[in-house]
Structure 1
Amino acid sequence: MLIARLIADPATLETRLEAATNALEERGLRLALARMLDHHGEVVQLSLPEGEASDLLKVLDEHFAPADMLVAKRDFATPHLFISDMDSTMIGQECIDELADYAGIKPQIAAITERAMQGELDFESALRERVALLEGLGESAIEQCLAERIKPMEGARTLVETLRSKGCRTVLVTGGFHHFADPVAEQLGFEHVVANRLEVEGGKLTGGLIGPITDSGVKRATLEEEMGKLGAGAISLATGDGANDVPMLQAADYGVAFRAKPVARDAATGRIDRGDLTSLLKLLDIPESEWIAG
């Protein structure tokens, strides 16, 4: 069984749905039922008795993009674990790029960041290279950067706090730094943080890191460790946007690529390309009257 939920342009929904149904049939996929959700009338649920999620997502992309969607192999339910990337997912910026601006080297570092997110560079090597370029920058620049540059993604706090109100465990796991992730987590309502640590001596960055690197393997391992604590039958939701998030997205029951790079999008079973992060609450059919305002 496959179930898809979709938020698309309502003005063209009926026409596109007919075209998508024909395209599915050409692939040997039969649409058994299409209905609007009870709590969110802009969300259509599609049910298929069989098929591959990748094939369904491809057809939905072809006929509805840009759209917000999520595909599952069983009935949808509120997740027990929400685990998310930070930069360009829960916040609208890449912290290391913004911090680099205070050192006057943002273009140089941003170019490396982009290649790493696209999966063109080894994450750890790219991270160490960028951090080394920040050697000598005052630690006070981090506080200034947080205050002046770092802003939550629209809908982020509402998503996190609403899921928490439903008993969902919330974890922020990032290839960024505790200097940024800890205050962001507190602001948004995350219960636990996994991140990298910048080395600071005499009030200045040394250009080094302390401890192990939070890479794609650590992100997936964190999801698996948290799920192990929750026990059998627990459901996980993960969000991310870059190559470092791919294993985590693949391991989650609901792996959602948020305005993501192609490599992350291709690995996910959901996409948010049209709305903000509250689209996830709509796709999960959580009534807006139960949302916790951000």
Structure 2
Amino acid sequence: MPLASAVMLDFCGDVLQLSFADGDPAKVLAGIDRFFAPSDALVSASEIQVPHLFVSDMDSTMIGQECIDELADYAGIKDQIAAITERAMQGELDFESALRERVGLLAGLDEGAIAQCLEERISATPGARTLVGTLAAKGARCVLVTGGFHHFADRIGEELGFHRVVGNRLEVSGGKLTGGLAGPISDASTKKATLLEELEQLGPEAHSLAAGDGANDIPMIEASTYGFAYRAKPKAREAASGRIDRGDLTSVLSLLGIPKSEWTLD
């Protein structure tokens, strides 16, 4: 067997498949970064196949925005909350403390601002519907798990075709946000636990795919068969076996070797 080989996957159109007789995934990705950055890449120690489970983050992954930052704009405090969000996603702040602080600042905001925000500010990331639709059509179980809120995630999950949604719940009283959360916190440990719970239901041979962009996505990215960092923060990118730095989310399908003729288009 040669030490290395390269072949262009014609059925995907623009995917170069590299094979190594003996290669450390971290070193392979470092080499790709050195010569091809920014790049879209997936490294696997075994033959890549379509996953049985897809678990994804929502904000800045399946949608192009951070919901809490956009919602904060309706309270006139977007810059203040966005600064906290950025530090949390970089892994500089404890996620739960940062979440409770930001939600607390929204106390008194009319609940109607959520629907307005959804209509005016929130949009799917390019390729999101095709990615979810194609994986679902291939038989994959698709789960949206977020440190964001059910007020947003339930609708987004339904529109994109996810089978299950896991997230936090904003507490509302008298038609206004109280500044608190209802129920348990959905955080990094929840994301990983959700992936492992779903995998257990699918059986020991099941392969999983996870996608995210921030520090709180790292545990599920590391626990998955294929962990993708989408336009991600440095810590999440370093933890991933796959990354999308150039293309949209359909690049994941190409890297999995799924021909474009089999994609479920928007």
Which residue in 1 is equivalent to 2:54? 82
Q: Structure 1: which amino acid aligns with 2:178?
A: T
Alignment of 1:274-293 (within 5 A): 274-293=246-265
The runs of 5 or more residues in structure 1 that have no matched partner are 2-29
Please state if 1:229 is matched with 2:201.
yes
Tell me what 1:213 maps to. Answer: 185
Given the superposition, is the C-alpha separation of residues 91 and 31 from structure 1 closer, same or farther in structure 2, using an over 3 Å criterion? farther
Q: 1:40 aligns with which of 2, 8, 12?
A: 12
The CA distance in 1 between the partners of 2:45 and 2:73, in whole Å, is: 45
Q: Matched residue of 1:44: which SS?
A: strand
Matching residue of 1:196: 168
Q: 1 CA distance for matches of 2:128 and 2:144?
A: 12
Distance between the aligned counterparts of 2:198 and 2:33, measured in 1? 32
Aligned to 1:5: none
Task: Flag the 1:260–1:31 CA change in 2: closer, same or farther, 3 A.
Answer: farther
Aligned to 1:172: 144
Runs of 4+ in 1 over 6 A off after TM superposition: none
* C-alpha contact (below 8 Å) 1:81/1:168 kept by paired residues: yes
Question: How far has the Cα of 1:68 moved from its partner?
Answer: 0.4
Alpha-carbon offset, residue 41 of structure 1: 3.0
User: What do residues 16-56 of structure 1 show as CA deviations (whole Å, max 9, x unaligned)?
Assistant: xxxxxxxxxxxxxx842111114113111111112211111
The aligned counterpart of 1:137 is 109
Please state how far the C-alpha of 1:203 moved relative to its aligned partner.
0.3
Match of 2:21 among 45, 49, 60: 49
| Residues 131 and 208, structure 1, Cα contact 8 Å, conserved in 2 | yes
- Are the counterparts in 2 of residues 31 and 46 from structure 1 also a CA contact under 8 Å? no
Q: Does 1:98 align with 2:70?
A: yes
> Does 1:153 find its partner at 2:122?
no
Aligned match for 2:89, one of 109, 117, 120? 117
Q: Which secondary structure state, in structure 2, belongs to the residue aligned with residue 72 of structure 1?
A: coil
Consecutive unaligned residues of structure 2, counting only runs of 5 or more, are none
Structure 1 length normalisation: TM-score? Answer: 0.89
CA shift for structure 1 position 220: 0.4
8 Å contact from structure 2 (residues 3, 22) kept in 1? no
How many residues of Structure 1 are paired with residues of Structure 2 in the alignment?
Answer: 266
SS of equivalent to 1:275? coil
The CA RMSD measured in Å over matched residues stands at 1.1
Partner of 2:44: 72
CA distance in 1, matches of 2:201, 2:82: 37
Instruction: Give secondary structure in 1 for the equivalent of 2:54.
Output: strand
Measured in 2, the distance between the counterparts of 1:41 and 1:281 equals 12
SS at match of 2:18: strand
**Cα distance between partner residues in 1 of 2:3 and 2:194:** 36
Q: Secondary structure at the match of 1:214?
A: coil
Q: Separation in 1 of the partners of 2:21 and 2:98? A: 44
State how far apart, in whole Å, the 2-side matches of 1:159 and 1:201 are: 37
Q: Give secondary structure in 2 for the equivalent of 1:138.
A: coil
Q: Which amino acid aligns with 1:202?
A: G
CA distance in 1: counterparts of 2:29 and 2:3, whole angstroms? 13
Distance 1:272 1:61 in 2: 12
* Inter-partner Cα distance in structure 2 for 1:47 and 1:285: 14
* Alignment correspondent of 2:236: 264
User: What's the CA shift string for 1:39-98, capped at 9, x where partnerless?
Assistant: 113111111112211111001111101110000010010000000000000000000000
- TM-score w.r.t. structure 2 length? 0.98
* Aligned-partner Cα distance in 2 for 1:182–1:195: 9
Q: Aligned residue for 1:242?
A: 214
Give SS of 1:89's match.
Answer: coil
Q: Give the match for residue 21 of structure 1.
A: none
Offset of residue 284 of structure 1: 1.1
- Residue aligned with 1:127, SS: helix
